Structure 1
Amino acid sequence: MATMSGDDPQRSVEQFLYRQAECLDTGDWQGFIDLFADDGIYWMPADPSQATGDGVPSIFYEDRDLMAVRMRRMMHPRAWSQKTEWGTNHVVSNVRIEKHDAASGLLVARSRFHMMEFRNDSTRHFAGSYIHHLQPSPDGYRIRLQRVDMVNAQGLYDYVLQAWV
């Protein structure tokens, strides 16, 4: 688990985001889910103008329970979609803290990402920005909300996203 680095929230947030990317790239799905607060939400809007994911179509709008369902589906021995050679590589950069309440420790961080996915002998690239609403916990941060805005969210895909970006 990425821990908070003393009085340097910038470094703590960077290390946390790198840990999240590592969970995704190694298929540590439970580790990824554990980074979320009990009421945490992973949200990827279908359109960048969306102000909420509640009650409107989104690419992803999952709480921890729905993330656990996705994880079990991906890990199921008969999950055909997982039988092909598959992997991702995330690069997270341009991390900046937008808001930080020093008293409560709550903060909002923005960053950029690039993800390469290899599956079925082909490569796809996804890029965009993250917004993380983070709360401190005894062993690091927990995600209250992660918003993922992909540059190519409205593009055509020959297959759907299997896991989180």
Structure 2
Amino acid sequence: MNQAEAEAFLFREVRLLDRRKFRDWRQLLTDDAIYWVPNGDPDSDPQRHCSIVYATPAMVDDRLERAESPFYWVGDPPIRSVHTVSNVLLERVDATQAELACNQVIYLYRDNDQRRDQPLDVLPAQCDYRLKRAGDGWRIAYKKVALLTGDGLVPLLPPII
């Protein structure tokens, strides 16, 4: 993996999220992946402290099942996102693994729900990824989305950010 491949992978990943193709995004995860959105201190131990999300692939499947349910009131109208990815840093890479870091700004909105007195929710984040080679592509073994505002009031979120 080189810098251009790392950036292209991240751009494709967030494009799936922005298009609400969560099941396709789920296919990017390895069988033993961890998806983590810390609550507050991004260096805390997720086994000992509360997280906004701390999920294995099975838990992600459960989140998506609930989000697809007609009883998922928080998703009506759906929460949509626009991700901006920058400052992509390829920290370590070898033939089978790559570690990436990047900054993201995640804009959240709902269809037909924007008024002048309710601006978009803006979530700046620092993200860490560990990717594993799978066949001729890469999959996510670890993703941490450390929201810079994660220690305060967090707006309603889509199933995956």
TM-score, normalised to structure 2, is 0.88
Q: Which residue of 2 aligns with 1:30?
A: 23
The alignment status of 1:160 with 2:156, answered yes or no, reads: yes
Matched AA of 1:26? R
Against the structure 1 CA distance between its residues 82 and 128, is the aligned structure 2 distance closer, same or farther, given a 3 Å change threshold?
same
Structure 1 segment 5-24 matched on structure 2, within 5 A: 8-24=1-17
Between the aligned residues of both structures, percent identity stands at: 24
Q: CA-to-partner distance for each residue in 1:112-148, whole Å, 9 max, x for gaps?
A: 0001001343420001111001111114111111111
Shift of the alpha carbon at 1:86? 3.1
In the alignment of these two chains, the number of paired residues is 155
- Structure 2: gaps spanning 5 or more residues: none
Structure 1 segment 41-120 matched on structure 2, within 5 A: 41-84=34-77, 86-100=79-93, 102=94, 104-119=95-110, 120=113
What is the alpha-carbon distance in structure 2 between the residues aligned to residue 138 and residue 13 of structure 1? 16
Classify the secondary structure of the residue corresponding to 2:12. helix
- Give runs of ≥4 in structure 1 deviating > 6 Å: none
Shift of the alpha carbon at 1:55? 3.6
Whether the 8 Å CA contact 2:36–2:51 is kept in 1: the answer is yes
Against the structure 1 CA distance between its residues 139 and 81, is the aligned structure 2 distance closer, same or farther, given a 3 Å change threshold?
farther
TM-score, normalised to structure 1, is 0.86
Is the deviation greater in 115-124 or in 104-113? 115-124
